[in-house]
Amino acid sequence: MTVAVSAQAESLAASLARSVRAVDPGGGPDWLKTLRKTAVSEFLSNGLPGNKDEAWKYTSLRPLENLHPELGTIALGEATGGQAPPLSVAGGFGFRVFGGRLHWLQQEMPQGVSMLALSDLLSQDSPQQLRLLRPLLEAVRLKGRGHAFEALNTVLLRDGVLIRVSAGVDAGLCQLQWSLGGSASPRLDNFRIIIILEDGARLRLLEQFQCPAALQAGPATVKPLSSGHALNQVLQLQLAAGSELQHVRLQNEAPESVLFTFTEVSQAERSSYQYCGFDIGGGLVRHGINCRLTGPGARAEINGAFVLDHQRHVDHHICIDHLAPACSSEQFFRGVLGGHSRGVFNGKAVIRAGADGSRVRQSNANLLLSDQAEIDTKPELEIYADEVEASHGATVGQLDEQAVFYLRSRGLAETAARRMLTSAFCRMVTARLPDADMAEQIAALLEAAMPVPLSKAEETD
């Protein structure tokens, strides 16, 4: 078995390497060509990460190896097919991606907001826009096997979108809707999203990942669509002084799908970033979130809940870097795991010298509903400053049997009592959403995805 897995890994790495070598480097200024060449060199030199890389120690790429996707490209066009997103939220601008096609949800943009395809921007002679992008694009880490997917994304940098909100503008809601799949063979799409909020700007960002229909209507001779696809997304957020970004990500992809998201946030003074992520699907999912608090009074709040069953695997790797005084950050995660699922939480906060007056809180609590489920949790603090308020903690356990007994004494059946307790556990995260209607919709989706917790008698049987 070990030899077969190794052969799969080598086959995938070789296939991706051939595709990377064949990528047209494209045009643009010299610095952009150099950046792409560096990304190609790093990917070809290092290959894909494995369990000997500390950041990937608990996350195997075997589902991606089994999928063995081809590199895909995402072009502007009509994204037909797929399924409606899991949340029903009206209004807003943004885009939808299905079957390698990107479709704008609304052509008329709010005043003070622009949204451009990177392919168009990089092919045009727009030195001012490119100068704006250069420090962001060059800031993404490419070196080492642990950053192989960021390097791969940079190789295919033309697939992406730039969203910019002018100073003082409340842009309202931006919806990004994804349905991985839509083609007959597995694909690994790479996509870059860059969002720039100028001074005092505000934006609500809603990302939704929903698995497409597994079969396409038509004669029996029509080949069914593959439900297993992969997306490697890099999201770069630049928040100027006093700007605010509320970011909700809901992932409900097919069990064969692979999703990698790498979110890089740069925050100036008094800016605020609130993230709430919810995972109830996917086969292999990894979210990397890095926040740099570069200005005094910046605030980052990273919340998440994941409900896993069967053999799903969800990994969260978070680092919040306090570089200025009087900044605050919080990481609040809840996980419920059943079946043979596995969760990973690595939450880190670094308080640099001179970042006095920083406040840091970390909390990760997990419920294991099966003896075969597994969670690897590691909250970390690195403190190099004085006058700091910091706390962290992680727990792994099972349902409180006294609480189960109490609910049963009030007339609930045992299964209903256990489901109620597990649902309440995740509502601690949905309660942090500022939109009450959205919170209720997500809570209902989490409850519907909840593994059925076994009673003690059933576990013994």
pLDDT at 224: 41
230 occurs within a structural domain: yes
State the Cα–Cα distance between residues 341 and 59, nearest whole angstrom: 12
State the Cα–Cα distance between residues 71 and 96, nearest whole angstrom: 20
392 occurs within a structural domain: no
313 occurs within a structural domain: no
145 occurs within a structural domain: yes
390 occurs within a structural domain: no
pLDDT at 10: 87
What's the domain count of the chain?
1
381 occurs within a structural domain: no
Domain extent for 102? 2-84+92-294
Displacement of CA 3 from its chain's centroid (Å): 32
> By the 8 A CB rule, do 57 and 82 touch?
no
Tokens of 137: 């694009």
pTM, full prediction = 0.91
351 occurs within a structural domain: no
> By the 8 A CB rule, do 415 and 450 touch?
no
State the Cα–Cα distance between residues 147 and 47, nearest whole angstrom: 10
State the Cα–Cα distance between residues 194 and 172, nearest whole angstrom: 17
> By the 8 A CB rule, do 328 and 355 touch?
no
pLDDT at 290: 98
> By the 8 A CB rule, do 168 and 85 touch?
no
347 occurs within a structural domain: no
* pLDDT per residue of the chain (461 residues) written in tens, 0 to 9: 343 446 888 889 899 999 999 887 777 788 888 999 999 999 999 999 988 899 999 999 999 999 999 998 888 887 776 677 888 888 899 999 988 889 998 767 899 999 999 888 877 666 777 778 889 999 999 999 999 999 999 999 888 999 999 999 999 999 999 988 777 788 999 999 999 999 999 999 999 998 865 433 333 333 444 457 899 999 999 999 999 999 999 999 989 899 999 999 999 999 999 999 999 999 999 999 999 999 999 999 999 999 999 999 999 999 999 999 999 999 999 999 999 999 999 999 999 999 999 999 999 999 888 889 999 999 999 999 988 999 988 887 666 555 554 445 665 565 666 666 677 778 899 999 999 999 999 999 998 888 865 544 444 44
Token pair 């308020």 in the structure block, residue:
389
